[in-house]
C-alpha cells in the first residue's frame, strides 16, 4: 500500500438520530436466535383462518394485526377485484398532481365522510410519516413557524426514522414516554412545538389525549398521532382511539393510520381537520414519496371502499363486539399487565431464559405467538406477544390459554 492510500479519511459517524451499528447489531442477534429456534422465518399458506406449512403443520395465528379479520372478508376481496376490472389498471404511473384516476379521490371522499374529516391517502403509514414529518418540521405544513419536534421515546420506528430529515429543518429532541411535564416545559420555551406519538402503543397503552388537549389549548401545541393500532378496532365507525377521545379537531391535530391492520386492506389514511386545499396540495406535491412514488393501487382502493362500507353498518359493531368478547375471554384466563384494556395486544410475561422455548412449545401445539426478549425489550420484561382477533373461536382461545398455562404463563387472578 502506498503512503497516499493510508492517509485516506476514515469517517466517524455522527449518530445523532440513528445508529445502524446498534440497530443491526442488537436486532440481528434477536432475529437469528428466533429463526434458529423456529419461531421466525415460517412459511405457511392461509386456508379458512388456519395456516399450514409445507410439511403439514397447522396453526392459528395469534400475532396478526388484522383485529377484525376484514383482510379475508369476501366483500373486501370482491371489492379489490371489482375495482381492478372497473379502472382497468393496477396503477397508471404518473404523479397524481399531474394526472390521476378518480380512484383515490373516491376513496378519500368515502373515508372523509366515514370519519367526518378530510382524508388524504398514502401507500403506507410509514411513507406518510416519512413525508409529513419533515414538512411539519419546516413549518410548511402548519402556520409557517418551525416547531421544536419532540419525538416520544417510544414512538414507532416509522416516525423515529424521520428524525434525521426533521433535524435538517429544525431542532429535534426525544422526550420521556408520555412525559407531559417535560412537554409543557418545551411549550413554555419554544414559540411552537410538535409532539410525535403513537395513538395506541404496540405493547399496550394509549396516548394521554386529554392532557395533550390541554397543552394544545394552552400553548397551541401540534400533536402528530399515529393511530395505526386502534383504527377500525376502536370507536364509532372505527374512527380509532384518538379521534374518539380527542376534543381538538382542527389544525392542531394530525392523525395518520395504516389501513393494513384492523381496517383489513392496504395503504394509509392521513386524517386532517382545518387544513385547506393549499395544505392538501403541499402534501401531494412535497410530502416525500407521496409526490413521486406510487399511490395506493386500484385493488387496494377497491378493497378499502368495501371495508369502508362495512364500517358504516352494523357488521362493524358486531365485529368490534366479538373482538372485545375475545379480549375479555383471554383476560379471564391469563394474567397480563394489559388485562382489562380494550386494546387487542397482550404480553404474557415469561422468563428471559425460557421464553423462546415456551414460544416453540406453543407453536408445536398449534398456535403462533411471538416471543419478545432482550435485547428487543428490556431484560426482565420478556414475554409472548398475543393478539386477539374477532375471528378467533372461543375454543381456540381456551386451548391457547391452556397451553400458555402449561408453559408457565400466570393464570388470571380471578380465574377459578
Ligand X SMILES: *Cc1c(COP(=O)(O)O)cnc(C)c1O
| 50 strand-pairing partners | 47
Establish if 121 lies at the interface with ligand X (CB under 6 A): no
Applying CB under 6 A, which of residues 76, 104, 268, 323 lies at the interface with ligand X?
268
Of the ranges 70-78, 121-129, 140-148, 403-411, which one interacts with ligand X (CB under 6 A)? 121-129
Q: Which is nearer to ligand X, 126 or 264 (CB)?
A: 126
CB of 364 to ligand X, least distance (A): 28
Q: Which of 117, 109, 66, 65 is CA-nearest to residue 305?
A: 109
Q: Which is nearer to ligand X, 62 or 219 (CB)?
A: 62
Cis peptide before 163 (omega within 30 of 0): no
Provide Rg for the chain, Cα atoms.
23
Q: Which of 153, 161, 95 is CA-nearest to residue 127?
A: 161
Applying CB under 6 A, which of residues 34, 61, 232, 258 lies at the interface with ligand X?
258
CB of 260 to ligand X, least distance (A): 5
Applying CB under 6 A, which of residues 66, 246, 253, 260 lies at the interface with ligand X?
260
Establish if 170 lies at the interface with ligand X (CB under 6 A): no
Number of residues that bind ligand X (CB under 6 A): 14
Backbone angles phi, psi at 352, to 5 degrees: -55, -40
Nearest-5° Cα angle at 157, 377 to 96? 160
Establish if 124 lies at the interface with ligand X (CB under 6 A): yes
Establish if 297 lies at the interface with ligand X (CB under 6 A): no
Establish if 125 lies at the interface with ligand X (CB under 6 A): yes
Distance CA 121, CA 99 (A): 16
Applying CB under 6 A, which of residues 71, 118, 169, 226 lies at the interface with ligand X?
226
Distance CA 342, CA 340 (A): 7
Contact between 309 and 237 under an 8 Å Cβ cutoff? The reply is: no
Establish if 279 lies at the interface with ligand X (CB under 6 A): no
Establish if 198 lies at the interface with ligand X (CB under 6 A): yes
Sequence-distant (6+) residues with CB within 8 A of 393 are none
Of the ranges 44-52, 166-174, 260-268, 382-390, which one interacts with ligand X (CB under 6 A)? 260-268
Nearest-5° Cα angle at 138, 132 to 143? 90
Q: Which residues bind ligand X (CB under 6 A)?
A: 124-126, 156, 158, 198, 202, 226, 228-229, 258, 260-261, 268
Amino acid at each position: 500500500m502506498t503512503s497516499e492510500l493510508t492517509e485516506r479519511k476514515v469517517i466517524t459517524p455522527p449518530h445523532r438520530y440513528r445508529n445502524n451499528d446498534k440497530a443491526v447489531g442488537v436486532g440481528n442477534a434477536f432475529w437469528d436466535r428466533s429463526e434458529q429456534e423456529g419461531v421466525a422465518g415460517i412459511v405457511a399458506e392461509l386456508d379458512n383462518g388456519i395456516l399450514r406449512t409445507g410439511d403439514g403443520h397447522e396453526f392459528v395465528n395469534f400475532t396478526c394485526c388484522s383485529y377484525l379479520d376484514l383482510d379475508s372478508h369476501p366483500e373486501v376481496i370482491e371489492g379489490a377485484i371489482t375495482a381492478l376490472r372497473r379502472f382497468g389498471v393496477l396503477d397508471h404511473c404518473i404523479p397524481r398532481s399531474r394526472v390521476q384516476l378518480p380512484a383515490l379521490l373516491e376513496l378519500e371522499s368515502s373515508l372523509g365522510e366515514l370519519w367526518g374529516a378530510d382524508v388524504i391517502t398514502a401507500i403506507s403509514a410509514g411513507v406518510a410519516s416519512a413525508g409529513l414529518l419533515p414538512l411539519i418540521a419546516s413549518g410548511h405544513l402548519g402556520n409557517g413557524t418551525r416547531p421544536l419536534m419532540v419525538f416520544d421515546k417510544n414512538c414507532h420506528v416509522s416516525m423515529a426514522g424521520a428524525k434525521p430529515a426533521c433535524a435538517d429543518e429544525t431542532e429535534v429532541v426525544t422526550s420521556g414516554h408520555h412525559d407531559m411535564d417535560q412537554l409543557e416545559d418545551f411549550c413554555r420555551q419554544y414559540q411552537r412545538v410538535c409532539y410525535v406519538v403513537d395513538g395506541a402503543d404496540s405493547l399496550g397503552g394509549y396516548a394521554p389525549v386529554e392532557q395533550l388537549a390541554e397543552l394544545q389549548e394552552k400553548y397551541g401545541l401540534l400533536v402528530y398521532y399515529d393511530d395505526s393500532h386502534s383504527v377500525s378496532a376502536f370507536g364509532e365507525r372505527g374512527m380509532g382511539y384518538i379521534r374518539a377521545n380527542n376534543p381538538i379537531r382542527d389544525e392542531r391535530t394530525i392523525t395518520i393510520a395504516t389501513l393494513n391492520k384492523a381496517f383489513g386492506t392496504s395503504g394509509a389514511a392521513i386524517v386532517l381537520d382545518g387544513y385547506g386545499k393549499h395544505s392538501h396540495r403541499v402534501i401531494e406535491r412535497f410530502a416525500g414519496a407521496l409526490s413521486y412514488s406510487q399511490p395506493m393501487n386500484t385493488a387496494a382502493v377497491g378493497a378499502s371502499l368495501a371495508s369502508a362500507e362495512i364500517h358504516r353498518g352494523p357488521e362493524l359493531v358486531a365485529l368490534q363486539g366479538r373482538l372485545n368478547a375475545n379480549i375479555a375471554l383471554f383476560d379471564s384466563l391469563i394474567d397480563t399487565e394489559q388485562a382489562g384494556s380494550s386494546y387487542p395486544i397482550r404480553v404474557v410475561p415469561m422468563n428471559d431464559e425460557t421464553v423462546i422455548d415456551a414460544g416453540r412449545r406453543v407453536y408445536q401445539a398449534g398456535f403462533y405467538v411471538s416471543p419478545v426478549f432482550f435485547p428487543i425489550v428490556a431484560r426482565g420484561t420478556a414475554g409472548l406477544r398475543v393478539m386477539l382477533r374477532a375471528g378467533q373461536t372461543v375454543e381456540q382461545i381456551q386451548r391457547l390459554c391452556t397451553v400458555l398455562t402449561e408453559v408457565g404463563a400466570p393464570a388470571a387472578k380471578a380465574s377459578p
